[in-house]
Structure 1
Amino acid sequence: MSNVIQLNAKSPGGFTRMDNDLYEALIRADLSGRELRVALAIHRQTAGFNLDSARIAASYIAEMANIHREDVSRIIGELLRQRVIYRDGGSKSPIGISPVREWRIDAKNNRKTTTTKEPQCGVSTTSLVAFPPHNKDKHSFTTSDEVVVDAERQPEAAPEKISRAKTDSCPHRAIVDLYHEILPELPAVTLINKTRQQHLQGRWREHEAHRDLAFWREYFESVKASSFLMGKVEGRFGTKPFRASFDWLIAPRNFVKVVEGNYHA
């Protein structure tokens, strides 16, 4: 279905009408603030001119949304991956808002509901006033010396330290293994040095979706599907074809280019 509605009414100030399903979907969508701003900018430049899609420069979206140009390119890549927007062809092709039924948005709100603890005193069923418990209602026990001890005054055991899993820890070796498995034609990685670890950690932490080996498998498979990145396209003026390497693929700017399919530029 098209998200574009022909405008019949005339307004001296001009306005952009939005499909109700799309409007409500954007309200419900678990998008970040900047993702939503970029999506709205794309909608304004398409539906606002009665178009399904249009060629929109990232620099223009950056100006509209007040977001840095390089961040806009990354956000467009994320919206494309989540199918909120679509693009037919490479990075210079027209772009538009996808039908809501095709969206596959990452879950970002993982906040858990906490239950309210009951007060440590008796509560009247007919009054909102809390009354302290009577002394005889307190728990007590007798020691081996027949001494009555107040249980509430017993020293509490030291709480166990909860070891939190390091979700930010990047599985460098597993990613390198995937690279070797999927891209044996490209230069092998013999040493995971500090620089490579830092680059991998940076890409791993950039987005929740990157913290999944399934993402890296798809990433390397997209590289394998590219004749240009695999060195099968002859360079200009008969120069040696370009061929990607592991270091090139995990460098910040190149990583964004591959995700967005903008590596020919």
Structure 2
Amino acid sequence: MSNVIQLKSAGGFTRMDNDLYEALIGADLSGRELRVALAVHRLTSGYNKDAVKVAALYIAKMMYSDEEKAASERANVSRAINSLIRQRVLFRDGGSRDPITFLPRNEWKIDHKSTVLKTTHCVEKVHATVSKITHIKDINTNLTADAVVAAVASTSEVSESEPEQQGTPEPDQPAQAKADRIPYSRIAEIYNTVCGEKLPKCLKLSTKRKNLIKGCWNLEINGLHPFRKGEFWTAYFTDCLTNKHWTGDNERGWTADIEFLTRQDKVLKVLEAL
């Protein structure tokens, strides 16, 4: 019996522009981002539309047949949509309720990975080349959001962080736990990279700003600490930019800053809206 599946015209077909098809093949997207892009294409070209209004939960249901799984992946799908918008693959003029469509291939700004050297220790030292994650899209998409956040304790983001209290601990005191060391400078750098073109840049980390960042770092949600993952800060600040009022679309021309975005009431407002 042949393994070739015969296509039936009665089943219907979705037409795809050759340039878009080849661009998606060659784009350095994560598995989740590619699936989201294909879902948007199905909902636009598949129904002869240029753009479509679609919720992240609806796309999650297209990706996962299990309702519970789809609900748990909604936030990840929302971040993938925002990531594709930031990389200029998709375009949406407004918030999450506005239509979404593809941009021309020559406008895409796909993120790239960088590599660093890491030394491994066994019987002897061996140099190995590993990939350093530079964006949330590079996380293994087979992991759930909870599994990604649970892996925080072993990440380089924490191990390279700045301790809250300087100095060497006394001999009779235990070493400071990794979870208590907060990479303030790295978090400010992520904010400036993501929000610097639309919001005021963070030029100095005052005591107040460090205390607000510390509050986010120690924020516990369902037994997890999501802000102890560098990629989560990137996704969070990206989500903040979707709020037009915060980016200056108001009567006063007011814009949010790092202090405003790290207030816990604003953090919870963004997270609960996903």
TM-score scaled to structure 1, two decimals? 0.53
Report the equivalent of 2:78.
73
With 41-50 and 88-97 compared, the bigger mean Cα shift is at: 88-97
Equivalent residue pairs, number: 187
Question: In structure 1, what is the Cα distance between the partners aligned to 2:113 and 2:48?
Answer: 32
Query: Contact 2:157 / 2:229 at 8 angstroms: preserved in 1?
Result: no
Report the equivalent of 1:251.
267
Instruction: Indicate whether 1:171 and 2:187 are aligned.
Output: no
CA separation of 1:52/1:249 partners in 2, compared to 1, >3 Å: closer, same or farther?
A: farther
Question: Secondary structure at the residue paired with 1:105?
Answer: coil
Question: Secondary structure at the residue paired with 1:251?
Answer: helix
Report the equivalent of 1:225.
248
Report the equivalent of 2:145.
none
CA separation of 1:160/1:193 partners in 2, compared to 1, >3 Å: closer, same or farther?
A: same
Report the equivalent of 1:135.
none
The alpha-carbon deviation at position 24 of structure 1 amounts to 0.9
| RMSD over equivalenced CA pairs, Å | 4.9
Question: In structure 2, what is the Cα distance between the partners aligned to 1:103 and 1:249?
Answer: 34
The alpha-carbon deviation at position 254 of structure 1 amounts to 1.3
Question: Secondary structure at the residue paired with 2:211?
Answer: coil
User: Which structure 1 residue ranges, 5 or more long, are not aligned?
Assistant: 1-9, 113-157, 233-242
Question: Secondary structure at the residue paired with 1:69?
Answer: helix
Of 23, 26, 47, 2:24 maps to 26
Question: In structure 1, what is the Cα distance between the partners aligned to 2:63 and 2:101?
Answer: 16
Of structures 1 and 2, the larger Rg is shown by 1
The structure with the largest helix share of the pair is: 2
Instruction: Indicate whether 1:48 and 2:46 are aligned.
Output: yes
User: Which structure 2 residue ranges, 5 or more long, are not aligned?
Assistant: 1-7, 65-69, 118-123, 133-154, 162-181, 193-198, 220-224
Which runs of structure 2 are paired with 1:109-258 in the superposition (5 Å)? 110=115, 166-168=156-158, 169=161, 171-173=183-185, 175=187, 182=201, 189=209, 191=211, 194-198=214-218, 202-203=226-227, 205=229, 207=231, 210=234, 223-227=246-250, 244=260, 246-248=262-264, 251=267, 254=270
Specify the code of the residue in structure 1 equivalent to 2:14: T
Question: In structure 2, what is the Cα distance between the partners aligned to 1:252 and 1:48?
Answer: 36
